[in-house]
Amino acid sequence: MKPILLVLAAGMGSRFGGLKQIEPVGPNGEWILDFSVFDALESGFGKVVFVIREEMASAFSVVRDRYAGQVEVEFAFQKASDLPCRQELAANREKPWGTGHAVYSARQVLDAPFAVINADDFYGRSAFQSLGVFLGRLEDSANECALVGYELENTLSENGSVSRGICYSSDGVTLDSVEEHTQIRSDENTGSILALNGSNREVTLRRDDRVSLNCWGFPASFTSSLENLLEAFLERYYVATQEEFYLPFAVDSLLKARKAKARILDCSSRWLGVTHREDLPYVKKEIANLFTQGWYVDPLW
């Protein structure tokens, strides 16, 4: 079976102020999502699954119509009550459970090796080519996964802080661990890149640190491991923390327990993202340049 593209699109977009997943950014009204789907199809993917919230279903009907005749499309709903245990926690949950839970929400339709991306990130064709090759050779029962690594300096926003999973590797190829960092930003006085690590301590990061942008490749069997990790997360969960179940945390747990192996895939493409509405003009300019350079043609579909 051809690999599946799993698109995480259930985010609230609070910092952006709207559904940035379907915000026009291309010269002909294309969404960032359009380029991800197009590049994935060019790289051998056969189906696209979108994870959204139920209340977004009406707005996302345009997505199904957009790709009709181009690729098989399915939707999975990320529900606060969709938990393997402790369903009573859903009553006090004010926001989605996080990216790890979003992948878990799509478990019923992930019957082949799959890639995971964010709906509002432009990853570039090289990322999907690398993932397509990796997933095309991956057995469903394999205990191996991969992420596409980007240099931290190329993933920052001039309009506010971002969150990234910092990748650690002893040989530059094997992923040893991932640690989520938040409030990543450039210091105006020193030019250093500062962030809060997993212990909520301020640290200085290198500009060439490899980071995860939720661009992953997994075997179909990964969802079973994810369910076990989600159960462990919920068993120790305290309502007051409103903690999220991040996908990088899940992978890191498997790596530390030596239940999985992971590799870092090379990517020559440039990343573009819309975290804040002020990011839009720059993203639109860069995507217009890609049309001028011949990477994309009009019309895209």
Please check whether residue 142 lies inside any domain of the structure: yes
Query: At 266, which CATH number?
Result: 3.90.550.10
Please check whether residue 97 lies inside any domain of the structure: yes
Predicted local distance difference test score (pLDDT) of residue 14: 41
Please check whether residue 163 lies inside any domain of the structure: yes
Please check whether residue 299 lies inside any domain of the structure: no
Identify the domain containing residue 235 by its residue range. 4-292
Q: Above 50 in pLDDT, residue 71? A: yes
**5 vs 135: CA distance, rounded Å:** 11
Q: Please write the tens of the pLDDT for every residue from 117-149.
A: 998 889 999 999 999 999 999 876 678 999 999
Predicted local distance difference test score (pLDDT) of residue 135: 95
Please check whether residue 90 lies inside any domain of the structure: yes
Phi/psi at 180 (nearest 5 deg)? -70, 130
Domain count, the chain: 1
Please check whether residue 31 lies inside any domain of the structure: yes
**224 vs 239: CA distance, rounded Å:** 25
What is each CA distance from 92 to 75, 97, 101, 241, in whole angstroms? 25, 12, 16, 11
Q: What amino acid occupies position 190?
A: T
Q: Please write the tens of the pLDDT for every residue from 34-43.
A: 999 999 999 9
**181 vs 162: CA distance, rounded Å:** 9
Give the pLDDT band (50/70/90) at residue 172. Answer: confident
Q: Above 90 in pLDDT, residue 273? A: no
Of the given ranges (16-30, 124-138, 166-180, 203-217), which has the lowest mean pLDDT?
16-30
Please check whether residue 301 lies inside any domain of the structure: no
Burial degree of 280 (CB within 10 A; 0-12, 13-18, 19+) = middle
Residues 186, 192, 198, 202, Cα dihedral to 10°: -100
Tokens 């498997």 sit at which residue?
A: 254
User: Which has the closest alpha carbon to 213: 270, 279, 155?
Assistant: 155
Please check whether residue 76 lies inside any domain of the structure: yes
Tokens 């599946």 sit at which residue?
A: 4
